[in-house]
């Protein structure tokens, strides 16, 4: 009788190479068994991969939208700013000639200064009025909701409708002169639209009137997020209203303040509708701003290359201004 060990030895020695290869392949075809920890890691990896793919699928339409309607126009404007192009004939490369023209143009300098004045006369009063009304309406009193709604409603109206109505109010015999100017000016009114000194102020008033209610709501939200305990502790320590405002309210309201300042500056530089619909940029370019001048160069004079150069100047100005404001905010937060 052969022992089991001797039998296995004889069988292995006398097995053909083909049979050995076949048995090896059969062994390789067997499913690999993973440890429980390995199966868990593989399942987790597949779950994260699927989640990333779904996230990409949801984000991709927005990325495509911004790439087509935001980023492509920027690069296209940069390319056309170096050309002489009117939209009808092929663009001709002229280098930096459009930018040189802007540096030497007295009209562009005047419009640029007008834009800075408008932004200053629009952003700062909007911030002050919005914060002031927010401090009032954050208090509890009868009819607060009704008045708050009335002040917020102008932001819901179209800029075109507002411009038409205010242009009528600004007429020589309009309601503004009749009710608020003539009784205190010996019966004489102000030429709000045709006076070079009054026209910029008239446009600023309309711009502020439409948006201050919106920023009032934003300030109210910021004020309501300040813990009441801080005010109670300050009153216990004997702080007056002025000290509480400057030492508690304003520091804790800094993020909201920065948001309002950045947004009002950007919208101020982008202003176009009121100057176009109320004063047409006049009289004598007194109310003309960069947005309106870009429109005139592009769609009235068909000088798309020069208009693109102006657009890039405005874009660079807004970019630098926004970065500077955010830098100031971060620096103050670190302090």
Same domain, 254 and 315: yes
Same domain, 151 and 219: yes
- Please give the Cα distance from 303 to 301 (Å, whole number): 5
Q: Within this chain, do residues 25 and 73 fall inside the same structural domain, yes or no?
A: no
Give the confidence band of 9 by pLDDT, cuts at 50, 70, 90: very low
For residues 215 and 264, the answer to whether their CB atoms sit within 8 Å is: yes
Read off the pLDDT of residues 45-75 as tens digits, 9 standing for 90 and up: 577 777 777 778 888 888 888 888 888 888 8
Same structural domain for residues 201 and 242?
yes
Measured CA distances, 137 to 134, 145, 213, 216 (Å): 5, 8, 11, 9
Asked, for residue 96, whether it belongs to a domain, the answer is no
**What is the structure's pLDDT at 55?**
79
- Distance, in Å, from the CA atom of 44 to the CA atom of 39, rounded to the nearest integer, reads 9
Q: Are residues 71 and 117 in the same domain?
A: no
**Residue 315 within a domain:** yes
Q: pLDDT tens for residues 90-103?
A: 888 999 999 999 99
**CA–CA separation, 263 and 123 (whole Å):** 9
Structurally, the chain folds into a number of domains equal to 3
The CA-atom distances, in angstroms, between 83 and each of 107, 291, 307 are: 21, 20, 11
Q: Are 268 and 118 in contact (CB under 8 A)?
A: yes
Same domain, 166 and 256: yes
Q: Are residues 155 and 253 in the same domain?
A: yes
**Domain range enclosing 319:** 102-334
Contact indicator for 130, 222 with CB cutoff of 8 Å: no
Highest-confidence segment of 62-71, 164-173, 316-325 = 164-173
Q: Is residue 43 part of a domain?
A: yes
Q: Are residues 61 and 114 in the same domain?
A: no
- pLDDT tens readout for residues 186-210: 778 899 999 999 999 999 999 999 9
**pLDDT value at residue 332:** 57
Is 88 among the domain residues?
no
Answer yes or no: do 322 and 213 share one domain: yes
Q: Which residues, in sequence order, are bridge partners of residue 84? A: 92
Q: What is the pLDDT of residues 278-307, one digit of tens each?
A: 999 989 999 999 999 999 999 999 999 999
Contact residues for 151 (Cβ-Cβ < 8 A; gap 6+): 133, 212, 213, 216
* Inside any domain, residue 86: no
The token pair that represents 166 in the structure block: 């205010």
Same domain, 58 and 119: no
pLDDT, tens digit (0-9, with 9 covering 90-100), for 206-248: 999 999 999 999 999 999 999 999 999 999 988 898 999 999 9
d(CA 74, CA 130): 33
- Please report, for residues 73, 289, 297, the alpha-carbon distance to residue 306 in angstroms, rounded to integers and kept in the order given: 15, 15, 7
Residues 144 and 273 in one domain: yes
Q: Are residues 45 and 140 in the same domain?
A: no
The per-residue pLDDT for 43 is 63
pTM comes to: 0.79
Domain contains 305: yes
The chain-wide mean pLDDT, for the chain, equals 84
**87 found inside a domain:** no
In a domain, 251, yes or no: yes
Question: Which pair of structure tokens corresponds to residue 258?
Answer: 């920065």
Q: How far from the centroid of its chain's Cα atoms is residue 65's Cα?
A: 16
């Amino acid at each position: 009788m052969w022992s089991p060990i001797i039998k296995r030895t004889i069988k292995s020695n006398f097995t053909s190479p083909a049979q050995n290869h076949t048995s090896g392949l059969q062994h390789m075809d067997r499913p690999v068994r993973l440890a429980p920890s390995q199966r868990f890691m593989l399942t987790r990896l597949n779950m994260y991969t699927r989640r990333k793919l779904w996230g990409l699928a949801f984000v991709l339409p927005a990325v495509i939208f911004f790439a087509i309607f935001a980023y492509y126009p920027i690069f296209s404007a940069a390319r056309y700013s170096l050309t002489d192009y009117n939209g009808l004939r092929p663009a001709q490369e002229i280098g930096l000639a459009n930018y040189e023209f802007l540096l030497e143009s007295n009209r562009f300098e005047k419009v640029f200064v007008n834009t800075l004045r408008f932004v200053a006369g629009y952003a700062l009063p909007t911030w002050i009025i919005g914060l002031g009304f927010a401090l009032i309406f954050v208090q509890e009193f009868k009819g607060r909701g009704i008045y708050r709604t009335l002040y917020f409603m102008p932001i819901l109206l179209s800029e075109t409708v507002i411009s038409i109505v205010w242009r009528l109010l600004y007429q020589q015999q309009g309601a503004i002169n009749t009710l608020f100017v003539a009784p205190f000016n010996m019966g004489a009114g102000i030429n709000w639209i045709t006076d070079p000194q009054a026209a910029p102020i008239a446009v600023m008033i309309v711009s502020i009137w439409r948006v201050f209610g919106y920023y009032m709501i934003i300030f109210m939200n910021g004020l309501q997020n300040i813990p009441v305990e801080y005010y109670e502790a300050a009153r216990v320590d004997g702080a007056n209203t002025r000290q509480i405002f400057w030492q508690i309210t304003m520091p804790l309201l800094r993020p909201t303040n920065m948001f309002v300042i950045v947004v009002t500056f950007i919208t101020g530089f982008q202003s176009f509708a009121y100057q176009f619909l109320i004063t047409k940029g006049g009289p004598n370019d007194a109310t003309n701003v960069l947005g309106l001048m870009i429109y005139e160069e592009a769609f009235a004079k068909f000088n798309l290359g020069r208009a693109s150069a102006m657009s890039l100047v405005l874009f660079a100005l807004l970019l630098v201004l926004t970065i500077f404001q955010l830098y100031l905010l971060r620096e103050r937060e670190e302090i």
